Structure 1
Amino acid sequence: MAANNPNSKEKKSVMQSVLLCCKLHISESRNREALESIQRAAKHDPETVIVNIFEDREYNRINYTLVSYVIHDATTGSPIYCPLQQTVVAIAAAAYDGINLELHSGAHPRLGVVDDITVHPLARASLDEAAWLAKRLAAEFGNRFQVPVYLYNDAHPTGKALDTIRRELGYYRPNLRGIQWAGWPHMESLPVKPDEGPDVVSRARGITMIGARAWVAMYNVPIMSTDVSAARRIAARVSARGGGLPAVQTLGLLHGEGTTEIACILLEPNQIGADHVQNRVEMLAAQEDLDVEKGYFTDFSPEMILETYMKLINAS
């Protein structure tokens, strides 16, 4: 179709205008064979740009940040094509082939092999366009891979939040010694009907969350202690849910032999940023006589992602 194959001048204009960013969180970072297969799949389409890859062996989790353009129908203006869709599906196929959730363990919660997919608008894209792609991905995952899919935020009919769905599904409850997640979680049936896919779960694949939302930042603060209970107390008092910082969600997790972490999602990073979180964690940790290291982001800012994308497509 002509809409999917613009000439080079038109195509370059499209590739630099309406852009979507897709973040994939996959439950694996130790199986090199599986990761190499996923990496090959991530290069499935040269018009999808891999902007960042973040691996965490302790959490046994890898995050991909991908960017590509959106093509619209010339008559209606509706989105009709984005290379991200086929790239994400190719990555998922490789992940499901190479990873068995029943054999997985890690210090980070998860409910699926392809645990979470978030679509963010970039450049002149809108949340409506991000939601369009999220819904297309959800339908394909449900039909092709036969995994239950839960939509969230702007992709959900009522805007249901990701953390609300996760809480309903038991995402935050460790199932091994109170500090680790291993194998398929203990639930035997799904307490909430999925938006796409079957009502039964493959223990090898689990379920997938797919959503669209405005930009959020992931910021983790290391604490020099293995006291998970202390980390959880601090995390609770940092989060909005616990009466702490507005628009901040947190988890207190074990992270390696000598540290724990306060893993944070900053829902409004331009309002409540990393410096606010860092200061609050340091203050609360001092009350527990614990040392804190400087935190780190697990991904680039939207501005850095856009800049990296532009450099890579212009170079190619």
Structure 2
Amino acid sequence: MAKIVECVPNFSEGRNNEVIEAIVEEVRRVEGAKLLDYSSDKSHNRTVVTIVGKPEAVTTAAFNLAKKAAELIDMSIHEGEHPRMGATDVIPFIPIADVTMAECVEMAREVGRRMGEELNIPVYLYEDAATTPQRGNLAEVRKGQYEGFFEKIKKEEWKPDFGPATMNVKAGATAVGARVPLVAYNVNLATDNIEIASAIAKKVRFLGGGLRYVKGIGVMLEERNIAQVSMNLVNYEKTAIYQAFEMVKMEAQRYGIAVIGSEVIGLVPMKSLIDCAEYYLQIEDFSMDQILEKRVAE
């Protein structure tokens, strides 16, 4: 079986299509790396790119994307609802087929080292690639965001793993890591009150006493004038999408607020959605072998 790794870089640009296309084009230039998907959000001012392919090709593509983003994005004038600290905000490597987590950690270290040495960008290794327990949590690494990092980076405990111990004014800082697949899932509320969305997110996320494998924040979708609970499900098999959805809906009821929709960002494992269908339809004894497309692919 061929080695296949996934990489899902997040960039702090979701409004300028020319910049987005120029960044994404870097993937198409690398043989052995395939661009599966990219999606942008204007309110978040963020683009999520999904790449798969051979480890060497994906590593090259990830670095080239970061280099192009550093050229085209100026963090000193960036604004957006989503937490961010750099032009290339995060670069996670995810094992898919015949690739170990240890190999993904090495890929993260290689890209991080090159970004630090060649692009002069401070890099923090996170999740399974983290060098300290504190850096295992992306939220802790990114705390303070771009604006706060000019002081944060001076602290000894926040010295970068690679690159200069001073903030890159234009490109910011980047978190590079290795992790299992996650689901980026957002729930939209029938309110324009961001405080309600933030309060719900606090109840739902693990750090607030909520679901073990959920990270969440409240954000405002300016174009639609609605508030949103934006979540990452870092282990969808242990905390399912439907569990996060139902808890948001339950917490919204205390404010008399309805849920008006939800969205998945980027690509998700088929099983994460099958689990939802199984739950809501109350299907008994369902097997993934009953999925037509799966059997045809085999």
Within 5 A, what are the aligned runs for 1:214-293? 214-256=180-222, 257-293=224-260
The residue that corresponds to 2:138 in the other structure is 162
- Separation in 2, partners of 1:26, 1:110: 9
Structure 2 gap ranges (5+): 272-298
The residue that corresponds to 2:285 in the other structure is none
Matched, 1:49 2:16: no
- Separation in 2, partners of 1:158, 1:98: 32
Structure 1 gap ranges (5+): 1-15, 71-81, 172-183, 305-316
Two-structure CA RMSD over aligned residues (Å): 1.7
Q: Which of 175, 178, 181 is equivalent to 1:212?
A: 178
- Separation in 2, partners of 1:280, 1:32: 35
- Separation in 1, partners of 2:240, 2:84: 25
Shift of 1:293: 2.2
- Separation in 1, partners of 2:169, 2:149: 10
Q: Using structure 1 for the length normalisation, give the TM-score.
A: 0.80
The residue that corresponds to 1:313 in the other structure is none
Change (3 A) 1:246 1:87: same
Change (3 A) 1:132 1:302: farther
Q: Which of 138, 147, 152 is equivalent to 1:185?
A: 147
Q: Secondary structure at the match of 1:295?
A: strand
Change (3 A) 1:287 1:225: same
Q: Which of 92, 95, 109 is equivalent to 1:118?
A: 92
Q: Secondary structure at the match of 1:117?
A: strand
**AA paired with 2:139?**
D
| Structure with the higher helix share, 1 or 2 | 2
Within 5 A, what are the aligned runs for 1:195-210? 195-210=161-176
Within 5 A, what are the aligned runs for 1:83-122? 83-122=57-96
Alpha carbons 2:149, 2:167 under 8 Å: kept: no
**AA paired with 1:113?**
A
The residue that corresponds to 1:77 in the other structure is none
- Separation in 1, partners of 2:244, 2:260: 12
- Separation in 2, partners of 1:204, 1:235: 31
Q: Secondary structure at the match of 1:118?
A: strand
Alpha carbons 1:122, 1:302 under 8 Å: kept: no
- Separation in 2, partners of 1:163, 1:35: 25
Percent of paired sites with the same residue: 26
- Separation in 1, partners of 2:62, 2:264: 23
